[in-house]
Structure 1
Amino acid sequence: MRLGEPSLDQLRIFLAVEEEGSFGGAARRMGRAVSAISYGIAQMEAQLGVTLFARQGSRKPVLTEAGRGLLAEARAVADRSDALLAKTRSLHQGLESDVSLVLDVMVPGDVTAQVLGEFRTMFPTVSLNLFVEGLGAVVACLLENDAQLAIGGPVIGDHPELERQAIGEIELIPVAAPTHPLASPEIAPGESRKHLQLILSDRSTLTEGREFSVLSPLSWRLGDLGAKHALLKEGIGWGNMPRHMVSGDLARGTLVELDLPEKPGDRYTLSALWRRDQRPGPATSWLIDTIRDTLADCAD
């Protein structure tokens, strides 16, 4: 038997009859005559060679076994068509079809989760590509056109190809395990230089030759902030960490904040960055504003 291919309109009629529970209800919902609804169902049944609804006298149409089996597929096709139309309308209205975002590793995970959860609700048709990088690698994603928007730190100053808007800051504090020698009170000036310092390294070459809050000539460079966190808790060296990331450790006593004479802690300014030749669209602009507001709420 050669099967026909039902049209999208016939699939929508099928779904309307099932959801409304009657041909008359489907007709009212779709603004059609009942005869048009009956004809659409009959045509679909003829093309597929199955009976979709059991219809006896004046009883409401009831899905047959075949109808129940095809319902999910019909709904999936209709949903994909709706998504296609929604994205097309968004493109006509100037909304981005996708956004690539790169975040500095210093951005709190709770902020990221909250903002992206709201983003999914606000812009259901916009695809999101998310990258997480550190230091100059954040800016490198923009310069290499891997991302349209970056939330990055102060390690890269004004760049001729980028626009910058400050949106918040992260407090960095020196920490170590409670058994570390630098955890003792009244540390003498220069004592920190005698101990291994754990430093976040830059995958890019944009900060080559530059150091940030590095005091000790004894250092390990790590490309992952999570690995640095784990080594600090094991008592392997000392280093700066975002306060929000170690607040639980400070409360539990698994890490302590160091009182060093050099005061190596810092305020890490976060900025939204984008290429000057790519003006932020509605979804990108929303991300900038919402990340700024969420960071401010967390600070409060």
Structure 2
Amino acid sequence: MQPQPTLDQLQVFLTVVEKGSFSAASRALNRTQSVVSYTIANLEAQLRVELFSRSGTKRPQLTDAGRSILEDARRLLGDLDLMRARVRALSDGLEAELYVAMSGIVPSDIVVDVLHAFREHYPTVSLSVTVGSLGIVMDAVINGTAIIGFGGAMPNDQIIFERIGQSGMIPVAASDHPLGVLGRPLTLSDVRDETQLVVYDASRLTTGRDFNVFSLKTWRVSDNATKHLFIRGGLGWGGLPASLVKDDLVTGRLVQLQFPLFDQREYPIYAIRNVANPLGPAARWLASEIQARLSREAGNIASS
């Protein structure tokens, strides 16, 4: 069996490259220069390549092989650092992986901003996100496939709800849709024969319960992203989170329908967890950050 390069040898090699000389590397590693030189010579013998060109220059220069192996050494040592950080985090009670269920009523721009910050704050925690309707979120938290969920609330003895903010739902249509061009308050007879796009609940938890459905003709889709796409394409009208359509309303691609029967009250957003599954540090941080961003957005809207 051929001798294998050690992590120590790779660390010495990387230090020589970063410090620019064997003598500087020896000082940084607190080893004699002869030990550093011996370590590099052994590494070259094991790899059967010359890593440094030592002739005709005062400073060791990487060979083509050395430059190629440098990237591998950096990656291997970086992976080792990540593993050490993950082990330290696990010993402190930090989750190795966080499973989250997210309702479409949570503003998508807030979700993206918080997850950017999450990646910086918890680089060792893997993230798995399920996005769906209220029932999907509830189902995931109840059966344990999500440790925390964010969305609306339905009474359930297994679930703890903590209100963290609110979000608005408004009726919209494409600017050239028959309802979009009326330019007046709509009545039930106006919308009754126009196709309404509705998000269905694959979990069956809300079977038989439709919210803000007024048309006799409905098309059902699995999520708000598809619903948004179809409404922008003029395939029907429907309610969407205000945060999702704000840019379309500014550009005129969509219009907000004046439909008094549509319930446009603010919808509460909750952090949802199973009573049997206490939250770890990363989950608690995520809930706190989403709550802070929702509060900040509400303040900005109130002051505008």
TM-score, length-scaled by structure 1: 0.90
How many residues of Structure 1 are paired with residues of Structure 2 in the alignment? Answer: 297
- Partner of residue 160, structure 2: 163
Q: Any idea what SS the aligned residue of 2:271 has?
A: strand
Return closer, same or farther for 1:163/1:27 CA change in 2, 3 Å cut-off. farther
| Alpha carbons 2:188, 2:214 under 8 Å: kept | no
CA deviation after TM superposition for structure 1 residue 49, in Å: 2.5
TM-score, length-scaled by structure 2: 0.89
Q: How far, CA to CA, are the matches of 1:254 and 1:15 in structure 2?
A: 55
| Alpha carbons 2:179, 2:190 under 8 Å: kept | no
Q: Which moved more, 1:84-93 or 1:66-75?
A: 66-75
Unaligned runs of 5+ in 1: none
1:261-280 aligned within 5 A: 261-280=260-279
- Partner of residue 172, structure 2: 175
- Partner of residue 282, structure 1: 281
Q: How far, CA to CA, are the matches of 1:133 and 1:79 in structure 2?
A: 36
| Alpha carbons 2:168, 2:266 under 8 Å: kept | yes
Work out the percentage of aligned pairs sharing the same amino acid. 37
Q: Which moved more, 1:179-188 or 1:199-208?
A: 179-188
The aligned amino acid for 2:178 is H
| Alpha carbons 1:272, 1:288 under 8 Å: kept | yes
Unaligned runs of 5+ in 2: none
- Partner of residue 238, structure 1: 237
| Alpha carbons 2:108, 2:243 under 8 Å: kept | no
Q: How far, CA to CA, are the matches of 1:13 and 1:160 in structure 2?
A: 58
Matched, 1:294 2:293: yes
Matched, 1:104 2:103: yes
The aligned amino acid for 1:111 is I
- Partner of residue 199, structure 2: 200
Q: How far, CA to CA, are the matches of 1:265 and 1:93 in structure 2?
A: 44
Return closer, same or farther for 1:45/1:248 CA change in 2, 3 Å cut-off. closer
Q: How far, CA to CA, are the matches of 1:276 and 1:136 in structure 2?
A: 17
Q: Any idea what SS the aligned residue of 1:292 has?
A: helix
Two-structure CA RMSD over aligned residues (Å) = 2.2
Q: How far, CA to CA, are the matches of 2:184 and 2:47 in structure 1?
A: 82
| Alpha carbons 2:163, 2:269 under 8 Å: kept | yes
Q: How far, CA to CA, are the matches of 1:181 and 1:71 in structure 2?
A: 63
**1:124-151 deviations in whole A, cap 9, x for unaligned?**
1111112211221111122222221211
Q: How far, CA to CA, are the matches of 2:249 and 2:48 in structure 1?
A: 69
CA deviation after TM superposition for structure 1 residue 38, in Å: 1.9
1:87-236 aligned within 5 A: 87-154=86-153, 156-157=154-155, 159-178=156-175, 179-181=177-179, 183-188=182-187, 191-236=190-235
- Partner of residue 17, structure 2: 18
Q: How far, CA to CA, are the matches of 2:269 and 2:95 in structure 1?
A: 24
- Partner of residue 82, structure 1: 81
Q: Which moved more, 1:99-108 or 1:176-185?
A: 176-185
CA deviation after TM superposition for structure 1 residue 226, in Å: 2.6
The aligned amino acid for 1:256 is V
Return closer, same or farther for 1:191/1:69 CA change in 2, 3 Å cut-off. closer
- Partner of residue 6, structure 2: 7
Return closer, same or farther for 1:3/1:268 CA change in 2, 3 Å cut-off. same
Return closer, same or farther for 1:92/1:213 CA change in 2, 3 Å cut-off. same
Q: How far, CA to CA, are the matches of 2:10 and 2:192 in structure 1?
A: 72
Q: Which moved more, 1:257-266 or 1:54-63?
A: 54-63
